[in-house]
Amino acid sequence: VLPFPSQVIYNRVGKCGSRTVVLLLKILSEKHGFNFVTSDIHNKTRLTKNEQMELIKNISTAEQPYLFTRHVHFLNFSRFGGDQPVYINIIRDPVNRFLSNYFFRRFGDWRGEQNHMIRTPSMRQEERYLDINVCILENYPECSNPRLFYIIPYFCGQHPRCREPGEWALERAKLNVNENFLLVGILEELEDVLLLLERFLPHYFKDVLSIYKNPEHRKLGNLTVTVKKTVPSPEAIQILYQRMRYEYEFYYYVKEQFHLLKRKFGLKSHIGKPHPRPEFFIPSPLETEEPIDDEEENDEKWLEDIYKR
């Protein structure tokens, strides 16, 4: 019997399907009887040392088993003498994430809320209707670094250098993925992410895929799709790709690790023909050689080692 991790953190990355997953977790917490702990703070991902200590204390004293979720950069519990929880997360293609956020801030989603007006009340009309190509090509702050360096800090952590686009933050983020995250999934393959979560954390995610595929739930999920989203020109996409080269190196690294994990547990990719997407214009990195399958490896032992971290 695998050890049951009673402390799980989903430090969800913005505009990477987290609203869909949170909807699922609300249902699952009632179904399986775990403590689903959320935060009302949505716009403070970087914390002072005292704020880190306070948040870690609050999380650690929650009734177990718990799954805590918040938009927050990785917290190192062991630095403050606490037990390191199990981390999970989901990321997506960086350009698509950026575009989703750009238009969501301006126009919200299909739920019909006026949340975007509440969220950005000081945004002037000319800014709200700023053409995405103009924003990118004329180098507006919202469409240039460091604003575009967004995903990596969620895995790098709270160190000031984690906010600086560069190799240091990238390598630290990769290290944390390997050492502190049970699973980092890819939104483009969400059903496989849910399948693996159900396998690794059954006490939290049992039956998650059947709930996700339920027509009523899919209807709710569709309401969180960003409206008025348009695709920039190929020239603008190429500029974004250059500005986000560290984000893409991290994304492809995580994607490769995710695919290795799927193969380890016998999951085949069943991805239909994709719709035309911004990354169509983005050159893929060189493919790595296929690793040799080690059939001797004990999958259960691998999970047990993860839980002991």
- Per residue of the chain (309 residues), what is the pLDDT tens digit? 446 899 999 999 999 999 999 999 999 999 999 999 999 888 899 999 999 999 999 999 999 999 999 999 999 999 999 999 999 999 999 999 999 999 888 887 644 445 555 556 678 888 888 999 999 999 999 999 989 999 999 999 999 999 999 999 999 999 999 999 999 999 999 999 999 999 999 999 999 999 999 888 776 655 556 667 789 999 999 999 999 999 999 999 999 999 999 999 998 765 544 443 444 444 443 333 333 333 334 545 555 555 555
What is the rounded distance in angstroms from the CA atom of residue 262 to the CA atom of residue 169? Answer: 26
- pTM to 2 decimals? 0.84
Identify the CA nearest to 148 among candidates 125, 164, 134. Answer: 164
- The ranges assigned to domains in the chain are 7-268
Q: Which residues contact 77 (CB under 8 A, 6 or more apart)?
A: 56, 60, 83, 84, 85
CATH superfamily, domain at 7-268: P-loop containing nucleotide triphosphate hydrolases (3.40.50.300)
Dihedral angle, C-alpha 152, 156, 158, 163, nearest 10 °: -40
- The pLDDT, as a whole number, for residue 121 is 67
Whole-number Cα distances in Å, 39 to 114, 280, 291: 21, 36, 41
Q: Which two tokens stand for residue 133?
A: 């190509």
Q: Which residues contact 243 (CB under 8 A, 6 or more apart)?
A: 144, 145, 148
Q: Which two tokens stand for residue 260?
A: 């290795």
Backbone angles phi, psi at 182, to 5 degrees: -65, -40
Identify the CA nearest to 256 among candidates 304, 290, 292. Answer: 290
- Region of residue 294 (phi > 0: left; psi between -120 and 50: alpha; otherwise: beta): beta
Q: Is 71 a catalytic residue?
A: yes
Q: Are 157 and 73 in contact (CB under 8 A)?
A: yes
Q: Which among 32, 71, 159, 203 is annotated as catalytic?
A: 71
